[in-house]
Amino acid sequence: MAHRSSHRPRKESFVRRGLWGGAVALALVAGMAPGTVVAAGERLSPAPLERLFDNRAISDDAAPGEADFDGAGSSLSAQDLAAAGWTPGRSLSVDATSLRLPRTGPGERDNVRADGQSVQLQGRGDALSFLVAGTGGEASGTGRVRYRDGSSSAYRLTAPDWRAGPAATKAVALPHVNTADGQLAEKARLYVVSVPLAHGREVSSVELPRDPGAADLHVFALSVRESARGWTGSWSASPAGYTAVGPWTERTLRLVVHTSAGGPRVRIRLANTFASAPVRIGSASVAVQGAGAQAREKPVALTFRGESGAEIPAGAQVLSDPVDFAVPAGANLLVSFHLPGTVSAAPVHSQALQRSYVSEAGDHSGAADGGAYTSTIGTWPFLTGVDVGGSAESVVLLGDSITDGVKSTPDANRRWPDVLARRLRAQDDVPRYGVLNHGISANRVVTDVYSGDGVSTSTGGVSALHRLERDVLAQTRARTVVVFEGVNDVRWGARAGEVTDGLREIARRANERGLRVVAATIAPCEGEARCTAAVDAERQAVNEWIRTSGTYDAVLDFDAVLRDPAHPARLLPVYDSGDHLHPGDAGLAAIGESIDLRVL
């Protein structure tokens, strides 16, 4: 249910629709006083966003009446934001974009209601990201980016409602809403939403969307997401849920990951996705794996903005500083990081199919000897990426459990993405792209298996549509996305049209960002409990659409690769892991070997 204001208050610093011609406007821009008259047709110079702030969204719990975010006297709690690590003036990274929070105190102007204002902004990159929320419902509008060369491009920005928007796409959720009558135990949310930029052009200013209608579109921050030049994505994994762990107190995690591309430099990405509180990283290191938790050589220490550790706010991520370290292609790395506090819940990738390690108490990130690592885990908590220095782009594989590698041999790197990476390394016909596996077991195209908020045992992830920005568009040097999803949707009752609508939307958004989009047909699964004849009919309808719609830059027919020619509704027995749904090692190898590398 959307929470609509009973009235729309006068905007204190507001550029009206007539600013570019046809009407007289009142504005407070770049230091202009309230009541300044702007002549018809006169265009104001772009101003820093902070000078355009005209709304108070954040209040102190002790003085909630000093802010009115929605025109009905409600606001965000400054104490809740601080508890999440979202403090005034802090720079934090969400979906690979660094955004600086307003340097304002409770009850001060901290956001602007979008209505065509011109914002001063510089940078060159692949996307423009906004920290936003709607009040009075979801708010949408069309704005324009202006470039240094005099050109411009339009964009469409949608801000979900701060109280009723989806949990699955929020940047941060707060536990309370402040009102003049007291605090409500109701979630409030802020969102980071990105829109495309013209490739290779330098931004000079951004015109905010004009008059989003009945709802207000509030902008707290915006920034250009810079391209990761000189880096190749070598390994990654998707946060699939937020689960109870340990609890780990004063422990070091040593996670084992398998590289695709190699390079002379390395950096890692740690993410606190889905969390409600910050997590502290005390130290971190990287090494090539020897035996078990033992490093081949002494681990190389990593830093974060020059410091040995970092705090990751709720919903945010951190990148380590680049360090010279020869990362072998197709090798196992040990990524170790010390957790100096107590961690009882964490974002995890649940089906690592790889044994990783947890230490006894203490900081053991720098130890080459694995003796301190006395227990094992089969998940990847916090770690979401390893980049290597290089010129090659990355191929992102967006999928479910088959891409995740479920039913492949553990600790053997026999997922079909691993097979694809080996083939790319062994040839010279196309660039040796990095391969980024973003499969999540149980994931679906159009339905969230995990809600996206709160501690849960569910690790099926938010839908492919809801994680597209984080898991594909924001990935390091993403060039191509291969979409291999849909079987879980039809197994759980979705109709073919729902799935194809979702797949079409994924293709549209990825193409809009300049990515190649390749789709794979859904494999057969007769014999598995949910794969009834009716489900198979929906599966085949989706596959027919994938093959014939012309939506994609290329199609990979994994159905044809895996099916039994004598009984096309089921897997070829030699490829069946035994559960009739997941291919085993032989079937996964067949998928990886079937791909024409030129389509990537």
- Identify which of 273, 305, 304, 313 has the alpha carbon closest to the alpha carbon of residue 88: 313
Mean of the per-residue pLDDT values of the chain: 93
HEC assignment per residue over 158-216: EECECCCCCHHHCCEEECCEEECCEEECCCEEEEEEEEECCCCCEEEEEECCCCCCCCE
Nearest alpha carbon to residue 148 among 181, 114, 124: 124
- Say yes or no to pLDDT of 53 above 90: yes
Over residues 169-181, the mean pLDDT reads 97
Residue 10: predicted pLDDT: 35
CA-CA distances (angstroms) from residue 382 to 39, 346, 466? 54, 7, 19
pLDDT in tens, 238-278: 999 999 999 999 999 999 999 999 999 999 999 999 999 99
Q: Give the mean model confidence (pLDDT) for residues 91-103.
A: 97
Determine the pLDDT at residue 213: 75
Mean pLDDT of 302-317: 98
What is the per-residue pLDDT for 319? 98
**Alpha-carbon torsion (26, 29, 35, 36), positive or negative:** negative
Q: Please, which pLDDT band fits residue 211 given cuts at 50, 70 and 90? A: confident
Contact call for residues 358 and 376 (beta carbons, < 8 A): yes
Strand runs labelled E in 431-536 = 434-439, 478-484, 516-520
Quick one: what percent of the chain has pLDDT higher than 70? 93
- Write out the DSSP string of 288-326: EB-STT-BSSPPEEE-BTTBS-EEE-TT-EEEPPPEEEE
* Helix, strand or coil, per DSSP, at residue 5: coil
Instruction: Kindly report, residue by residue over 366-418, the tens digit of the pLDDT.
Output: 999 999 999 999 999 999 999 999 999 999 999 999 999 999 999 999 999 99
Given a cut of 70, is residue 150 above it in pLDDT? yes
Q: How far is CA 515 from the centre of its chain?
A: 16
Q: How far are the Cα atoms of 400, 493, 545 from residue 501, in angstroms, in the given order?
A: 18, 15, 10
**Mean pLDDT computed over 487-508:** 98
| Contact (Cβ atoms closer than 8 angstroms) between residue 565 and residue 532 | no
Can you tell me the mean pLDDT for 68-90? 98
CA–CA separation, 342 vs 355, rounded Å? 22
- Closest by CA to 393, choosing from 600, 97, 595, is 600
State which fold the 392-600 domain adopts.
Rossmann fold (3.40.50)
Going by pLDDT thresholds of 50, 70 and 90, the confidence category of residue 3 is very low
Token couple for 508: 């549209």
What HEC string does 222-262 produce?
EEEECCCCCEEEEEECCCCEEEEEEEEEEEEEEEEEECCCC
Q: Is 8 a residue whose pLDDT tops 50?
A: no
**What pLDDT was estimated at residue 33?**
36
579 by DSSP, 3-state: which?
Answer: coil
Q: What is the pLDDT of residue 25?
A: 32
Length in residues, the chain: 600
Could you tell me the pLDDT band of residue 305, with boundaries at 50, 70 and 90? Answer: very high
Beta-carbon contacts of residue 290 (< 8 Å; ≥ 6 apart): 296, 368, 370
pLDDT at 19 over 50: no
Distances (CA, A) of 304 to 93, 165, 219, 270, 283: 13, 33, 28, 11, 9
Contact 359, 254 (CB under 8 A): yes
**Averaged pLDDT, 103-113:** 98
Helix (H) or strand (E) holding 534: helix 533-548
The mean pLDDT value for 161-181 works out to 97
Q: Is 31 helix (H, G, I), strand (E, B) or coil?
A: coil
pLDDT tens across 536-572, in order? 999 999 999 999 999 999 999 999 999 999 999 999 9
129 three-state secondary structure? strand
| pTM (whole model) above 0.85 | yes
Cα radius of gyration (the chain): 25
In this predicted structure, what is the pLDDT of residue 212? 72
Q: What is the pLDDT of residues 31-51, one digit of tens each?
A: 443 323 333 334 579 999 999
The domains of the chain are located at 48-225, 247-307+321-346+353-378, 392-600
Q: Which residues of 197-222 are buried (b: 16+ CB within 10 A; e: fewer)?
A: bbeebebbbbbbbbebeebbbbbbbb
Give the pLDDT confidence of 312-366 residue by residue, as tens digits: 999 999 999 999 999 999 999 999 999 999 999 999 999 999 999 999 999 999 9
On the CB side of 39, how many CA atoms lie within 13 Å of its CA?
A: 1
In SS3 terms, 254-273 reads as EEEEECCCCEEEEEEEEECC
Rounded to the nearest 10 degrees, how much is the dihedral formed by the CA atoms of 364, 370, 375, 379?
80
